[in-house]
Structures are given as structure tokens and as C-alpha cells.
Amino acid sequence: MSTEELGYILKMPVPCPHCLQESEQMVAFLINNENFRCLECSGMVDLASEEWFAFRQKLSEALTALQRPAAAVTRYKGRISAQQRYRRRRLCERP
């Protein structure tokens, strides 16, 4: 699953500054857009502020980090730890 797919699965509540109602938006939508209309009052919710920009950037980094462990596991699948090598050697040395 790519980062984009995960972003379209996860939803996050976003409060409207006009009517204070929360609307659930997909994370990918929040990362890629700077504003949207509230479903309740039709007011514009601005995501271009400095706080929202920093939050959207961190959210994007978090989605990328969530995807990274799966790739790391498959890449290092054949490697064993030093402790595992030691145990294997000891088993081979036993009479």
C-alpha cells in the first residue's frame, strides 16, 4: 500500500472556525489542499496558515514513516542478528 492509499483511508476531524462543527476529511485531502468548504455553514476553512502548514507537513512525514517499516522488513529479511549466529554456531558445535 502506498502513502497515497493510506492517506485516503485515514480520516481526521477538522473544526470549522465559523460554526465550530467538526467535519471529517481524508488525510490526503488535508495534505494536498489549502482550503475547503464546511458542509454545515458553507464557510471556507483555511489550511494555509503557518500552523496548518507545519501540521500538514508533519502529517505527510508520519504517513511516509508508517510505510517505511514494511519495506525495511522485506529488505533485511535474509539477515540474522549476531545473537542468532552465535546460537547457530553453538548448536553446530555440540556433539
Of the candidates 78, 62, 63, the residue with the CA atom closest to the CA atom of residue 5: 63
Quick: pLDDT tens for 19-76.
999 999 988 898 888 999 998 999 999 998 899 899 989 988 888 877 765 545 455 5
Q: What is the count of structural domains for the chain?
A: 1
Q: Which domain holds residue 36?
A: 3-93
Whether the model pTM is above 0.85 = no
- Residues with Cβ within 8 Å of 44's Cβ and at least 6 positions away in sequence, in order, are 35, 36, 37, 38
Whether 25 contacts 90, CB under 8 Å: no
How long, in residues, is the chain?
95
The rounded distance, in Å, linking the Cα atoms of 8 and 28 is 6
